[in-house]
Amino acid sequence: MYIGTSKLTHTYWPGTPFAADALKNISFSVGQGTFTLLIGPSGSGKTTLIQHLNGLLKPSAGEVYFDGKKIGPDKAALLALRRRVGLVFQMPEDQFFSETVFDEIAYAPRNLGLDEKKVEERVNRAVAQVGLERSRLLDRHPFQLSAGQKRRVAIASVLSLEPEVLILDEPAAGLDPEGKGNLLNLLSSLNRAGKITIMVSTHHLDEIAALADNLVVLNEGGLVMSGKTKEILARGAELKELGLALPQVTGIMHELAARGLPVSTDIYSLSAACDEILQAKRADQR
Amino acid sequence: MAALKTEIIIETRALCYSYAGAEEVPPAVAGIDLKVSRGEYLALLGVNGSGKTTLLKLLNALLIPSQGEVLVKGISTVEAERVQLVRQACGMIFQNPDNQIVATTVEEDIAFGLENMALPAAEIRRRVDQVAGRLGLTHLLRQPPHLLSGGEKQRTAIAGILAMQPACILMDEPTAMLDPAGRRDVLETVKELNKTEALAVVHVTHNPAEAAEANRIVVLEQGRIVADGKPGEILTDLKLLHGLKLQGTVAAELAHLLRQRGLNLPTAILQNRELVESLCISEPVS
Ligand SMILES: Nc1ncnc2c1ncn2[C@@H]1O[C@H](COP(=O)(O)OP(=O)(O)OP(=O)(O)O)[C@@H](O)[C@H]1O
Ligand SMILES: Nc1ncnc2c1ncn2[C@@H]1O[C@H](COP(=O)(O)OP(=O)(O)OP(=O)(O)O)[C@@H](O)[C@H]1O
Ligand SMILES: [Mg+2]
Ligand SMILES: [Mg+2]
């Protein structure tokens, strides 16, 4: 098993009146080089699960695996794990601890023992990858930024680690349309060309579903669906029951199909929708 | 009633703001003249770092203008002794529901602002019950806020603001952390109050579909207003939006792609159903 869990249960505040099972008996795994989306309503356990995959929480029961090995309490092993599995937090502020944006992004490569020239190269590359290259923000305190700029810095400070697994918790929240588009292109190329394993938790499937191999769906701490993106998104009614939504273009394709236009409904991106509609229109004409 | 409609709630005059220590870079807000009337629902768009949050904080007296002024119901936000009145007239909701919950139960949280207004206990009780009923929170009044879903927390924050009976609510990406159901909850609640009570709304969003629900759209770029109009005008003007690095709704963007590929579609498409209608009657590809 590359990454996954076996019968993972997590209880916050065990033994107190606030005790709550945030994860119940979760077993799943993803293969190396895959792209997985983790979805589920607010409070379903996405962030809790993601934190286990990075060794930030300790299972109340069950196991978490990475690269065939159980993630254990051993400190050295946990540090080694965090060099290979990068995690972008849901709240950028929770991740920041440096005095400047530069130091924040330089932290991971410095920690790897790279010399300052290599560190600077990595920082510059990460800054360009998140579209902050012309922004002159590197000397500021990470808190002296707009919401979207903080998000970009949080992503850059994990990219600079160049991990083999990239886990992002709701990474597009607060990004403007261009920032979102760039993030998706970046994730797609890291996954396809760089063979990086990617896992993203999100409430919004627009465009990103077109990149994902697999979908994992949580509800109230339990795993309720998991499988190929296409298989899961074909179960729109069940997702709706959970308060989740299909990509908007998928909704449009369903309406068109219902009106008799011969289009496929397994469409998750604007460009795929455009091709599909044109093809259907041409078929109609003949 | 016509006179009420044009009652100005917020007025800014040549408003500028520079963050301390950032005086050498262009100001975050760089000369804004804006009026918001009773009953208006204004969506504020702009790329990351364009000044939206800074503007909202100026309207709420969380920041004091570097130059120019802000009048809320005729009170200037520099009048320190009347800041409480400004905040009562104009309440603010932030992106992250977790950051704005202060008390240990939902009920206390909603009452928090009212306590500060030194209202009689019976009046506080009446208002808390009324607003909780309106927002569907009655069954949760005695719950600790950390046990609520994201949407419920965000509605609790909104309830705390509405209990003060403000003339205007300022919302900074209020749905960014919410699932589709929570998002719908929050937006429907605010829209309803906008219609029935003529509550003025200023809603910052990166989501064109949310902006399409407003009755006026203002776009910021580098701290200045660069567009101001009806959603039907601004959100269908893709040349304008793309020039500002923004996007139209999914339906507008898809229609745009299809037009570029030779499909004959009207230019005013904003909503999914308009696109579906046009596609089901439009001429085949030329
Ligand atoms: N530190 C904590 N202490 C106690 N309970 C917690 C804590 N963190 C999360 N929980 C609870 O655990 C459950 C799962 O929370 P989690 O943050 O994993 O959900 P999520 O799926 O990431 O939600 P969202 O979409 O809102 O980010 C929720 O009921 C939440 O209230
Ligand atoms: N505390 C601060 N100190 C210094 N500069 C700041 C601070 N907060 C914001 N800025 C800068 O002011 C400008 C406007 O920021 P603001 O937060 O208003 O943008 P925004 O439009 O809300 O962006 P976003 O969509 O990313 O939330 C940005 O260039 C930002 O870097
Ligand atoms: Mg979460
Ligand atoms: Mg902002």
Per residue in A214-242, pLDDT (tens digit) is 999 999 999 999 999 999 999 999 999 99
ipTM value > 0.90? yes
* Averaged pLDDT for residues B44-57: 97
Mean pLDDT of chain B: 91
Site from B104, B179, B259, B280 to mutate, A interface, most A CB atoms within 10 angstroms: B179
- Domain limits, CATH 3.40.50.300, in chain A: 3-229
Q: How far is CA A133 from CA A68, A85, B72, B266, in A?
A: 38, 25, 38, 39
Give the pLDDT of residue B1: 44
* Averaged pLDDT for residues B50-60: 97
pLDDT over 50 (residue B286)? no
Q: How far is CA A22 from CA A10, A42, A197, B173, B257, in A?
A: 6, 12, 25, 27, 43
Distance (Å) from the alpha carbon of A175 to chain B's nearest alpha carbon:
7
Cβ(B150) to ligand 1 under 6 A? Answer: yes
Give the pLDDT of residue B2: 46
Quick one: pLDDT band at residue B73, thresholds 50, 70, 90? Answer: very high
For domain B8-248, give the CATH number: 3.40.50.300
pLDDT in tens, B149-189: 777 888 899 999 999 999 999 999 998 888 888 888 889 98
C-alpha span between A158 and A156 (Å, rounded): 5
DSSP assignment of A234-274 = T-HHHHHHTT----HHHHHHHHHHHTT----S---SHHHHH
Minimal Cβ distance to B181: which of A243, A282, A284: A243
Q: Rounding to the nearest 10 degrees, give the CA dihedral for residues A182, A188, A191, A192.
A: -130
Give the pLDDT of residue A73: 84
DSSP A41: S
Give the pLDDT of residue B284: 52
Least confident of B71-85, B144-158, B216-230: B144-158
Give the pLDDT of residue B63: 96
Say yes or no for a CB contact (<8 Å) between A203 and B180. yes
Structure-token pair, residue A126? 């990460």
**Single-letter amino acid, residue A120:** E
**Single-letter amino acid, residue B203:** H
B174: nearest CA partner in chain A = A174
Cβ(A44) to ligand 1 under 6 A? Answer: yes
* Averaged pLDDT for residues B139-144: 90
* Averaged pLDDT for residues B11-16: 97
Residues of chain A scoring pLDDT < 50 = none
In this structure, which residue's CA is closest to atom 2 in ligand 2? A144
Three-state SS at B283:
coil
pTM above 0.90, yes or no: yes
Give the pLDDT of residue B146: 81
Least confident of A219-233, B203-217, B267-281: B267-281
Quick one: pLDDT band at residue B282, thresholds 50, 70, 90? Answer: low
Quick one: what percent of chain B has pLDDT higher than 90?
A: 70
Domain ranges of chain B: 8-248
β-sheet with A3-12: strand ranges across? A20-30, A3-12, A61-66, A69-70
Pick from B104, B146, B177 the residue to mutate for probing ligand 1's pocket: most ligand atoms within 8 Å of its CB: B146
Give the pLDDT of residue B281: 82
C-alpha span between A7 and B151 (Å, rounded): 29
Q: Domain A3-229 maps to which CATH number in 3.40.50.720, 3.10.105.10, 3.40.50.300, 4.10.1240.10?
A: 3.40.50.300
